[in-house]
Amino acid sequence: MTFHKILVANTGEDSLTLKDGYNFKTIFLSKLIEEKEDNSTQENNQLGPYDIDIGEEGYIYIANSYDNSIMKLDIENIKLLEFIKVGRNPTCIKRFKGKIYVANSDSNSISIIDENTFSLIEDISVGERPTDIQIDEDSLKVFIANGNCYTINVLDLNNEKISSITLSKQPVKMAIEDKRLFVLSYINNGVTNYSNLSELEIEDYKTMMSIDLKGIFANFVKIKGKEVFYLSNVEDGYIYRVFIDNEVNISKIYLGGMPNNIKWDGKTKLYISNILNDDLTIIDESNNQIIENIRVGKEPNGILLL
């Protein structure tokens, strides 16, 4: 798949940066609310767009962490379509089979929205400070990482039951591939900041791999088909490349600032938002070289490749 557009959510200025080839456009979300002539939908002075996803019809869904809301946006015509309230501090949004799943970090819940009617179906209580949602399309299970406790909740869509995986670390981000659940966790020993990257079997949640890394890592991606991971370290400004063969090999790419969210295009490019430098860095995964730094809005977080 070739991506022609990049969309970045700028939390600090309530905007989206749209890169279409060599053209750039800044979309101010408060202006779209004014154009819809429905200011009653906005709860706070700031929206705080944090995460973004796309639906089957091409509409964009935006999780506003300050305003506790989800926006539905027609990106082709730059028009706000609908607006719905969810729990407090929504920081992760995922769409699957006609439903939208939202992690509400300050409400300790996930909201489930019907995509067709754009109405709230239900809120489900989970562990403390849910930070990430990943969906296993094969087993029809929704995994929720609870960043302020030691659990991952599992919502089984087959029977709508929820269970928990107990860990020894605090999970913050996850990835799924080939019946394996990869988990980035934070280890707080009270002295030095450490993170952990581990691999669990989805069937029995048995730990197959565990690597401790010094620093605070915010996010990661796994390169499909390879035992290669890229992780963003908000503490030292580096992107870490972890290659697991007979032994663990680690190399680093310096970005500076606070690299946060990270996306892979499925081919050779990595996209990293930097919340301190207010830019988006593009890295060539084939040679680990920086291609370019793109200036975006203030405090960029969510990245969507279109």
One domain, residues 294 and 240: yes
Confidence of residue 246 (pLDDT cuts 50, 70, 90): confident
Residue range(s) defining the domain that contains residue 236:
218-300
Strand order, beta sheet including 180-188: 170-177, 180-188, 193-201, 207-214
Show the tokens assigned to 298: 């203030």
Confidence of residue 4 (pLDDT cuts 50, 70, 90): confident
Q: Which pLDDT score, from 0 to 100, does residue 47 have?
A: 97
One domain, residues 63 and 143: no
Query: What CATH number is associated with residue 50?
Result: 2.130.10.10
Number of domains in the chain: 3
On whether residue 190 sits in a domain, the answer given is yes
Q: Is the pLDDT reported for residue 1 higher than 70?
A: no
On whether residue 305 sits in a domain, the answer given is no
Q: Is the pLDDT reported for residue 281 higher than 70?
A: yes
One domain, residues 113 and 19: yes
Q: What is the rounded average pLDDT of the residues 250-275? A: 97
How many contiguous H segments (helices) and E segments (strands) does the chain have? 1, 28
The length of the chain in residues reads: 306
Last residue of a domain, one of 108, 124, 140: 124
Query: Are residues 53 and 90 in contact, defined by beta-carbon separation less than 8 angstroms?
Result: no
pTM passes above 0.85: yes
